[in-house]
C-alpha cells in the first residue's frame, strides 16, 4: 500500500491492467480511451503544465487515475470530470487507497464534459487533461468558455490536433480550432508524447498543447459568437476568397467585400491568412453597417 505522502502512489503498467481487470474495463474507441501507463509521463505533464501548490485543477477524462494522482501530489485541489459510469465510480476509491492524505482534496463530477456548467469547490485555475481524441477540440473550447478563471491549460491530444491548435496564420493546418483557441489564449506546442506510454497503444502520435489565457480579452466591440460566426464561414469554404466565402454570412458577396475593405482586409485574401484580431475587425464592420 502506498504511503500517505504519495510515495509509490502513481500507477504503473501492472497497476493499470490490474485495475482495469478488476473493474472489467476495456478501453473503447468510441470514447477515445487510451490510458497512460507511465508514471514519468504524467509527472512530465504536471511539470510542463506548471501546476502549483495553490492551483485548483480541473481534469477531463481521468480514466483510471494516472494523471489524477500526479496532479493531486502537487495541486491544492483536483476536480475530475468523467462520463464513464464504471470509471467515475471507481476513481474516488483509487485516490483514497493510493493518496489517503490527499483524498479530501479530490472531487469527482460524473458528467459529460460538454455539459458541465459548474464545478464544486473553489473556481478552477488550471485545466490539465489527456483529452479523448474524438472530442478534444470541442471539450477544450467549452471548458475555456465556461470557466474564465482557468488561467493555464495543458492538454494532451492527437499530434495532428496539437498542430492545428497551435498553428499560426499562413500555415496549411491553420483553421477553426487555431483561431478559436487563440481567442482565449496564447497557444503553443509544448512537446511530443510517444505511443508506448499508453494502453492500448494508439496508432497515432500525441502532442502537448499549452494555452495561457490572455491577460485582457481581445479588444473588440464584437461578441465572441459574432467573431466565431465569421471564422466558421471563412473556413467552411477555405479554398475560396473571403469575398466569396463570407457572402452567405454577410448577405451577399458585395456586403462581404464592403465589410472586408472597411476592416482593411483584401477581399481576395483567404481565411487561413487572418489573425483572430482581423476576424474580429470583420465582425465589427458588419455590425457597423447594419
Which stretches does DSSP call E strand in 159-279?
185-193, 198-199, 206-213
Q: Kindly state the average pLDDT of the residues 180-195.
A: 97
In whole angstroms, give the CA distance from residue 97 to residue 81.
19
Question: What's residue 2's pLDDT?
Answer: 41
Q: Kindly state the average pLDDT of the residues 243-266.
A: 97
Least confident range from 52-61, 177-186, 196-205, 222-231: namely 196-205
Which stretches does DSSP call E strand in the chain?
35-36, 56-60, 77-82, 106-110, 126-130, 152-158, 185-193, 198-199, 206-213
pLDDT of 275 strictly over 50 = yes
77-82 and 106-110 strand pairing? parallel
Which string of DSSP letters, residue by residue, matches 123-148? PP-EEEEE--GGGHHHHHHHHHHH-T
pLDDT of 6 strictly over 70 = no
**Model confidence pLDDT, tens digit, residues 115-138:** 999 999 999 999 999 998 889 999
Question: What's residue 1's pLDDT?
Answer: 35
In whole angstroms, give the CA distance from residue 265 to residue 262.
8
Q: Are 218 and 280 contacting, i.e. CB atoms less than 8 angstroms apart?
A: yes
Question: What's residue 201's pLDDT?
Answer: 83
In whole angstroms, give the CA distance from residue 38 to residue 230.
42
pLDDT of 26 strictly over 80 = no
Q: Kindly state the average pLDDT of the residues 47-65.
A: 97
Q: Are 175 and 164 contacting, i.e. CB atoms less than 8 angstroms apart?
A: yes
Q: Kindly state the average pLDDT of the residues 79-102.
A: 97
Helical (H) or strand (E) element with 231 = helix 224-236
Question: What's residue 139's pLDDT?
Answer: 98
Question: What's residue 30's pLDDT?
Answer: 56
Coil, helix or strand at residue 229: helix
pTM to 2 decimal places:
0.93
Question: What's residue 29's pLDDT?
Answer: 57
In whole angstroms, give the CA distance from residue 151 to residue 148.
8
In whole angstroms, give the CA distance from residue 202 to residue 178.
24
130: β partners: 156
Q: Kindly state the average pLDDT of the residues 17-44.
A: 83
Grid look-up 476592416 returns 263
Helical (H) or strand (E) element with 52 = none
Instruction: Return the exposure string of 110-119: e unless at least 16 CB atoms fall within 10 Å of the residue's CB, then b.
Output: eeebeebeeb
pLDDT of 31 strictly over 80 = no
Q: Kindly state the average pLDDT of the residues 220-228.
A: 96
Q: Cα angle vertex 149, ends 63, 142, to 5°? A: 55
In whole angstroms, give the CA distance from residue 199 to residue 204.
13
Q: Kindly state the average pLDDT of the residues 170-180.
A: 97
In whole angstroms, give the CA distance from residue 63 to residue 76.
21
Q: Cα angle vertex 218, ends 216, 223, to 5°? A: 125
* Cell numbers linked to 51: 501546476
Work out the percent of the chain whose per-residue pLDDT is above 90. Answer: 86
Q: Band of the pLDDT at 4, cuts 50, 70, 90?
A: very low
Q: Band of the pLDDT at 25, cuts 50, 70, 90?
A: confident
Please classify residue 154 by burial: count the beta carbons closer than 10 Å to its beta carbon, then call 0-12 exposed, 13-18 middle and 19+ buried: buried
Q: Kindly state the average pLDDT of the residues 152-168.
A: 97
Amino acid at each position: 500500500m502506498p504511503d500517505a505522502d504519495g510515495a509509490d502512489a502513481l500507477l504503473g503498467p501492472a497497476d493499470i491492467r490490474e485495475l482495469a481487470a478488476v473493474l472489467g474495463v476495456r478501453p473503447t474507441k468510441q470514447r477515445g480511451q487510451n490510458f497512460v501507463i507511465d508514471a514519468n509521463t504524467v509527472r512530465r505533464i504536471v511539470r510542463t503544465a506548471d501546476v502549483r501548490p495553490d492551483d485548483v485543477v480541473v481534469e477531463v477524462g481521468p480514466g483510471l487515475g494516472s494523471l489524477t494522482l500526479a496532479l493531486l501530489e502537487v495541486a491544492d485541489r483536483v476536480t475530475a470530470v468523467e462520463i464513464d459510469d464504471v470509471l467515475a465510480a471507481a476513481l474516488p476509491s483509487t485516490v483514497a487507497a493510493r493518496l489517503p492524505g490527499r483524498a479530501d482534496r479530490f472531487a469527482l463530477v460524473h458528467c459529460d464534459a460538454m455539459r458541465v456548467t459548474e464545478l464544486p469547490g473553489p473556481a478552477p485555475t488550471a485545466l490539465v487533461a489527456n483529452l479523448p481524441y474524438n472530442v478534444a477540440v470541442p471539450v477544450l473550447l467549452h471548458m475555456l468558455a465556461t470557466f474564465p478563471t482557468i488561467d493555464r491549460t495543458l492538454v494532451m491530444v492527437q499530434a495532428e490536433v496539437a498542430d492545428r491548435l497551435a498553428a499560426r496564420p499562413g500555415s496549411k493546418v491553420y483553421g477553426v480550432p487555431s483561431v478559436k483557441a487563440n481567442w482565449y489564449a496564447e497557444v503553443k506546442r509544448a512537446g511530443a508524447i510517444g505511443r508506448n506510454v499508453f494502453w492500448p497503444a494508439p496508432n497515432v502520435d500525441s502532442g502537448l498543447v499549452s494555452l495561457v489565457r490572455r491577460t485582457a480579452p481581445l479588444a473588440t466591440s464584437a461578441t465572441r459568437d459574432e467573431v466565431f460566426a465569421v471564422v466558421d464561414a471563412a473556413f467552411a469554404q477555405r479554398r475560396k476568397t473571403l469575398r466569396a466565402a463570407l457572402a452567405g454570412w454577410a448577405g451577399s458577396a458585395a456586403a462581404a467585400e464592403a465589410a472586408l475593405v472597411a476592416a482593411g482586409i483584401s477581399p481576395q485574401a483567404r481565411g487561413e491568412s487572418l489573425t483572430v484580431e482581423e476576424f474580429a475587425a470583420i465582425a465589427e464592420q458588419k455590425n457597423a453597417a447594419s
